[in-house]
Amino acid sequence: MSVLAGLRVLVVEDEYLLARQLERALQRDGADVVAVAPSVAAALAALAAGALPDVAVLDLNLAGEKAYPVAAALRAAAVPFAFASGYDAADRDPPFADAPHLNKPLTMATLRTCLARLTGRTPG
């Protein structure tokens, strides 16, 4: 049984191929990808429409717009999240400087460890 089994995950990633790949990798790990959103608006709409996820993975740069509004909404709802981006962690805005940061391209191993830690699950 994977450590991510049954975990409800929101994926925010503008690049379709990456979003699709991430979705499938998470699904293979037993996670439940509740929504995949390409933009801030789509992510906020997904949060408003459905039940809250347990955790979220946010691409920092969504076709030029930053994912901070989504991060703020998640923080307000006490949903833990990690940023994923091709930028250095140092480039992040101060309010979110302490959020976990995953370097792109993502590897499933680091993602799994990160999401498990964020949701208090023990990697097994």
Binding footprint of another protein on the chain (CB under 8 A) = 14-21, 36, 38-39, 61-64, 85-88, 91, 103-106
Maximum Cα interatomic distance, the chain, rounded to a whole number of Å: 38
The least distance separating another protein from the CB of residue 76, rounded to whole angstroms, comes to: 26
Which residue number, 54 or 84, has a Cβ lying nearer to another protein? Answer: 84
Backbone φ and ψ of 18, nearest 5°: -70, -40
The least distance separating another protein from the CB of residue 105, rounded to whole angstroms, comes to: 4
Which residue number, 77 or 107, has a Cβ lying nearer to another protein? Answer: 107
The upper half-sphere exposure of residue 43, i.e. CA atoms within 13 Å in the direction of its Cβ, equals 28
Which distant-in-sequence residues (6+ apart) come within 8 Å of 59 by Cβ? 12, 13, 14, 15, 18, 67, 83, 84, 85, 104
The least distance separating another protein from the CB of residue 67, rounded to whole angstroms, comes to: 13
Which residue number, 34 or 54, has a Cβ lying nearer to another protein? Answer: 34
